[in-house]
Amino acid sequence: MTQTDPYLWLEDVDSDQALDWVRARNAETATALEASDEFRATEAQILEVLDSDAKIPPIAKAGDWYYNFWRDAQHVRGVWRRTTLASYRTDEPEWDVLLDLDALADAEEENWVWHGAAVLRTGPLAFTRALISLSRGGSDADVTREFDLEKRDWVADGFVRPEAKGDVSWIDEDTVFVETDTGPGSMTESGYPRIARRWRRGEPLAESEIVFEGAHEDLSIGAFHDRTPGFARDWVVRATSFYTSERYLLTDGEDGGVTLTKLDVPDSSETSVKRDQMLVELREDWEVGGLTYEAGSLLAIGFAAFLDGARDFTVLYAPTPTSALAGYTFTANRLVLEVMTDVRSRLEILTPPATPGAEWDRVDARHVPELGTLQVGPVDADEDDAVWLYTTDYLTPTTLSLLDLGPRGVNAKPVPLKSMPSYFDADGLLVEQHFAASADGTRVPYFVVRPRDLAYDGTAPTLLYGYGGFEISLTPAYSGGLGRAWLSHGGVYVVANIRGGGEYGPTWHQAALRDQRHRAYEDFAAVARDLVERKITSPEHLGAMGGSNGGLLTGNMLTQYPELFGAVVVQVPLLDMQRYHLLLAGASWIAEYGDPDSGDWEFLATFSPYHLFDADRPYPPVLFTTSTRDDRVHPGHARKMAAKMLEAGKDVTYYENIEGGHGGAANNAQAAHMSALAYRFLWSRLA
């Protein structure tokens, strides 16, 4: 098996032999797909959306400024800039450009990709310094440098973290937490930092104070500073697997060392502390204090009381068979819950009690849309009770509003700030939700975006999209590129909310973990069959598409259910499940899939497309796409599967972007190119 794999040489990412093979496949794809007028038109339409000046610039507040990172046709790699709220409200805000990434990349002769910035918010240097992270080519590994916002330049002798997977975060103007590669033994077997350090200005990174060391087999270690006025705290998080972690309160001891207090909560839970309240979101049932709390619940308790031994939690949210907690957001005095019922969003506004042990005040948010997707984020959780509110669905362009929750938030009305323009004509389209019965009888929801006058004769080119993993939910969202490249041509778009995702909470995810993975694939196949039974489409006109874990999904559709599809797109995928844990970040996903070096291989082999491929079996045409610079999911998965299928004479199209990281693209032009490849491939095969 692994020892006799004839395509192992394709795992050598940058070898001349492997890259020659990649360039040859890319040239074939250029001839087959990219040379057509239809491809160029589709690519141009998508790029126009991505480069549009009319997109909503997302902003984050720091001090009196509102920061944004922006890409367009003039700023291919992007600019980091800021403005005032008053200016942002206008049609043409005045932006103060702090860093031009295109100019920086040219000056330093590097293919820099933006990875984010953190502005210092406390102390004498508050709002004048930032930590900026940049990636070469879009890889997960990046560098971090200290930036002077007033001088618009890097700080001489400032904090600099060399290239690695990791992070740096502010404690104060002269101190940061850092987790990074500092030499042999400093990283976990998953390729993430094993050690958290407190790094003081001017001292060598390798000599900085170690505040926590994890085990080599851990997933990662992280440390951060909560700067909330009056409640400043330092924390360490030890991720022992993708779904388990330990959280420690870090305090300085009198002897100059540190004291770590582990929070006595389930390792599978997600825990957060804000001011005097601690929230615990459960992934599994928890028996504590004489009560059993259900998986998917959100619990609250006074933090000081909890440290003193109290366990009398208040249930802020309890799941139902059709609803789940999608997220929550703290403001200065409120807690906003995002709840999904059958994958449709609503908001609840809660106010903590003034006295310990009293009930939380609760109201439903009014004056917000009842359908589609709602997402909120704090404007400044230390200062006020305002939140950013994003609203969207498949046919309604996204709107960003400012929602001031005020007293209890009862009559809070969103104040629209920006709306995305309509990039395609949606008048003749509608969205509907259906449910398919999976192999075990489970109801699986899915959304259909279709022409109102659809002829139910099974001939509509239909794109079925899915993910089904890591508790990630697929919710309705507007896409100008999808609308232009697919819907505007008469195509039907379908999103399957299969198990493995988070649409119905942690139990929906856990139902497709490890040896139960087949349920996610049975769910997706059930949706495909339901579309045919409804005569929306037929197998020869039905395509499947997914990326990353979704690439594993579509790889299994290709190998296990080839009769259901007329074409399959497999993007930045996992496919060789016998070696995935040995490649890049693969070991971090053992909790999701299983360990191939143990008895788990018996069930892993049942959903390893690379091993399920049968040269004598017919398969639909397939497009594999990946990125040379993806340092999360190894490009060898796509390379080896494509090579294996090509040798067997199958209809395979392959494209590998030399840049791009796990997202597949390092800039808008590359993203437009990759999207156009997928849409034109599907249209050419399904229409």
Active-site positions read 548, 662
Q: Which amino acid is located at 265 in the chain?
A: V
Backbone angles phi, psi at 122, to 5 degrees: -135, 160
| Cβ proximity of 644 and 654 under 8 Å | no
| Cβ proximity of 541 and 686 under 8 Å | yes
| Cβ proximity of 477 and 487 under 8 Å | no
CA 373 – CA 78 distance, rounded (Å): 28
Beta bridge partner(s), residue 325: 339
CA 176 – CA 170 distance, rounded (Å): 5
Report the Cα–Cα distance between both ends of the chain, in Å, rounded.
39
Beta bridge partner(s), residue 119: 130
| Cβ proximity of 672 and 43 under 8 Å | yes
Sign of CA dihedral 482, 49, 667, 402: negative
Cα Rg, the chain, nearest whole Å = 25
Q: Which amino acid is located at 237 in the chain?
A: V
Of 544, 476, 548, 467, residue with least CA distance to 500: 467
Lookup result for tokens 């390792």: 267
Paired sense of beta strands 567-571 and 622-627, if any: parallel
CA 140 – CA 123 distance, rounded (Å): 31
486: DSSP letter: T
